[in-house]
Amino acid sequence: MSTQRYSVTPHPIETLLTWVKSGEIAIPEIQRPFVWEPTKVRNLLDSLYQGYPVGYLIAWRNPTVKLKDGTPSAGKRILIDGQQRVTALMAGLLGREVLTKDYETIRIRIAFHPLTEKFEVANPAIRKDVAWIEDVAAVFAPEADLIELTEGYVAKNPVADRKHVGKVLQRLGKIINNHVGLIELAEDLDIETVTEIFIRVNSAGAELSQADFAMSKIAANETYGGNMLRKAIDYFCHLAVAPDFMGRIEKGDKAFAASEFFPQMRWLKDVNDDIYDPTYTDMLRVAFTAEFGRGKLADLVALLSGRNFETRQYEDAIAEASFGKLKQGILRFINKTHFERFTMIVRSAGFVTNDLIGGQNALNFAYILYLRGRAETVPAAELERLVRRWYAMSILRGRYTGSPETAFDFDIRQVETRGLVAYADSVIENELPATFWTGMLPQLMDTSSAQSPYFLAYKAAQVKLGDKGFLSRDITVNDLMMNRSDVHHVYPRNHLKKQGLARGRYNQIANFVLAQSEINIAIGDRAPETYFTDLAKQCAGGPKKYGGITEREELCANLRMSCLPESLIDGVIPAYDDFLEQRRKLMALKIKTWFEAL
């Protein structure tokens, strides 16, 4: 027999709003700020006025925790679905201000026309028109008197029928008696089940991740400063992308500006680096994994609830300690020295622009290793080398692409047991044996994806090794990456198209070189036998057609940098497939040289 893991109870809207005001229901801002357009708020009020259903709300009761004195404390309900609707009701009916996705505090005013019984978003024209009540919140204010409101309206609109207006306003005032179903999930449900229920009930499909649940736990906690911690996470992510937002926090959120977090992130106001722009999920993963030595965010949710993994009870002391530890992790994450050193290490491996960053999770785990290494006082030079090599290994082997949580959990537990340096070195050795470079990597490079980790690593290798652009005398690949580079097809695209080759064939990464636009344009669609012959002539005193190289020796060196066989300038132009195979091997060896230099 199955047991029901939830209850469904209809409650009047008035009761729900009272619970929200008193904190009995916590709106954790899981989905972060209010994202509804004002017209959607208008539609919601209209649906209630018409007596239409407005969907269920889902709340999850926090587990009852044992306080320090041994007494139990009943958990609050946390609203996990319906936040936008409840916020819309608070805004429209109670005149509460809302925080927009740009972190601006605004008032949404919904106007009502008693004669046509229509709702509209208030605008200057409506405000001037006496036939409208410009803000329905006036009807729901605690001191509101329906008789007075009716008299006032009729005085301004002599044509209106007093009786009709009175009835309409009465009907409007009664919408807070409408019932909304509250689905309450049992407190002992684990986060996976709650996520599953949420996805099944929420047909709108706005999926919630484990990080969303963790953020809801953090935001709903005021006892241990969770609400301020949530802001720290959100604001940091926002500032990393938009540094000029700093002024708005100072003006609009005085409490946060006075907190210990704000001075720690002030440095972001002068930063325009986008190598690592973390999301709140990235921040939570890194801070939690580095600090707690665990990789599954469901464990964080349990710990913040006070779960004792041994006794399976919930204890307030564990919740308090977990909030303290997480705060420590967030402060380490946002520390200027840590963050800037880490991005400098990534850049020093050749990943000089955001375009070269493949997987965010590989970057996250590299930062975890950096923070652990700092905490364990691993010598700086050794830590830099380890982080660079680990990041390179993890993108080349797709270590965090499948199920990153499982990989994070496995790796961090091994780090805890075996020690950071010993574990990292042994994994790198196992994952990248000598046969990887000569056997596996050339096969993996049989791809047409310019975003493939192998092509990104190849470009980073060219940057790190100081290579020049294809046929460039002075412009380096680093210059090209920092400004604008063209990906040139060695065997030009149209030349191959004419031979009937499909896109996946002519766009092979082994057919790509990084070149200046003008060189790319000059070569155009010419067959390789044509332009390589021209290049040979160029180096023998002939006309300069492509770039500024006029010495054969210099041209050979340039071809080697781009992993191209030197025999091309002697007119030895292999069949396209043979060329690709040759070049993949040369590119794989370049990546190996790069990796050994990290």
Identify whether 451 is part of a domain: yes
pLDDT digit string, tens, across residues 183-213: 888 877 776 777 677 666 665 545 567 788 8
Q: What is the average pLDDT across 332-348? A: 97
540-572 pLDDT, tens per residue?
999 999 999 999 999 999 999 999 999 999 989
Q: What pLDDT is attached to residue 201? A: 65
How much is the average pLDDT of 259-268? 95
Q: Are 515 and 486 in contact (CB under 8 A)?
A: yes
152, part of any domain? yes
| Tens of pLDDT, residues 226-239 | 989 999 999 999 89
Find where tokens 């990546």 sit. Answer: 591
CA-to-CA dists, residue 380 to 293, 347, 372, 468, 523, angstroms:
22, 16, 12, 30, 46
Q: Each residue of 400-455: pLDDT tens digit?
A: 998 899 999 999 999 999 999 999 999 999 999 999 999 999 999 999 999 999 99
pLDDT band of residue 1 (cuts 50, 70, 90) is very low
Is the pLDDT assigned to residue 102 strictly greater than 80? no
* Total residues found in the chain within this entry: 598
Give yes or no for residue 123 having a pLDDT over 80.
yes
Q: What proportion of the chain, given as a percentage, has pLDDT over 70? A: 93
Looking at the fold, whether 233 and 121 belong to one and the same domain comes out as no
Rg, Å, the chain Cα set = 31
Q: How far apart are CA 166 and CA 143, in angstroms?
A: 17
In a domain, 437, yes or no: no
For residue 30, the model assigns a pLDDT of 44
Same domain, 455 and 415: no
Q: Are residues 193 and 230 in the same domain?
A: no
> Quick one: 192 and 306 in the same domain?
no
Residue 31: the pLDDT is: 43
Position 379, amino acid: P
> What's the structural domain count of the chain?
3
Strand partners, 7: 184
Q: Domain boundary at 432, 465, 500, which?
A: 432
Number of neighbours of residue 445 by Cβ within 10 angstroms: 22
| Cβ burial, residue 504 (10 Å; 0-12/13-18/19+) | exposed
In this structure, the answer to whether residues 427 and 494 fall within a common structural domain is no
pLDDT tens column, 353-381: 999 998 899 999 999 999 999 999 999 99
Q: Is 154 in the same domain as 124?
A: yes
The per-residue b/e assignment along 465-477, b for 16 or more CB within 10 angstroms, e otherwise, is bebbbbbbeebbb
Question: Is 506 part of any domain?
Answer: yes
488 DSSP β-pair partners:
513
Q: Is residue 522 predicted with pLDDT exceeding 50? A: yes
**What's the pLDDT at 325?**
97
Q: What is the DSSP string of 297-332?
A: HHHHHHHHTTB-TTT--BBHHHHHHHHHHHHHHHHH
Distance CA 522, CA 544 (A): 11
241 vs 75, residue with greater confidence: 241
Task: Give the range of the structural domain holding residue 79, as residue numbers without chain letter.
Answer: 6-201
37 shares its domain with 143? yes
Contact 187, 217 (CB under 8 A): no
Which residues sit opposite 6 in a β-bridge? 185
Within a domain: 156: yes
Question: Left if phi > 0, otherwise alpha if psi is -120 to 50, otherwise beta: which for 419?
Answer: left
What pLDDT is stored for residue 207 in this prediction? 59
Given a cut of 80, whether residue 29 has pLDDT beyond it is no
Stretch 44-70: mean pLDDT: 82
- Note whether 83 and 128 are same-domain residues: yes
Residues 6+ apart with CB under 8 A from 52: none
Q: What is the structure's pLDDT at 105?
A: 77
Mean pLDDT estimate for the chain: 90
pLDDT value at residue 203 = 52
438 in a structural domain:
no
The DSSP secondary structure of 39-52, one letter per residue, reads HHHHHHHHHHHHT-
Q: Per DSSP, what are the bridge partners of residue 9?
A: 182
Does residue 38 sit in the same domain as residue 144?
yes
β partners of residue 489? 512
Among 167, 201, 235, identify where a domain stops: 201
Residue with tokens 């031979």: 499
Q: Do 420 and 466 share a domain, yes or no?
A: no
The model's pLDDT over 8-28, given as tens digits with 9 standing for 90+, comes to: 899 999 999 888 888 788 776
Residue 60 neighbours by CB distance under 10 Å? 27
The whole-number average pLDDT for the span 243-266 is 91
- State phi, psi for 446 to the nearest 5 degrees: -80, 75
Question: Percent of the chain, pLDDT > 90?
Answer: 68
Determine the average pLDDT of the residues in 163-184.
93
Give the mean model confidence (pLDDT) for residues 509-520. 94
Residue 33: what pLDDT? 64
551 DSSP 8-state letter: -
Q: β-pairing, 110-113 with 118-121?
A: antiparallel
Domain end point (choices 432, 453, 469) = 432
Q: Are residues 61 and 105 in the same domain?
A: yes
- Strand locations in 435-592 (E): 486-489, 512-515
**186 inside domain:** yes
In this structure, the answer to whether residues 141 and 281 fall within a common structural domain is no
Give the mean model confidence (pLDDT) for residues 117-141. 95
> Is residue 304 included in any domain, yes or no?
yes
Work out the angle between the directed axes of helices 576-597 and 453-464 (0-180°, nearest 10).
Answer: 60
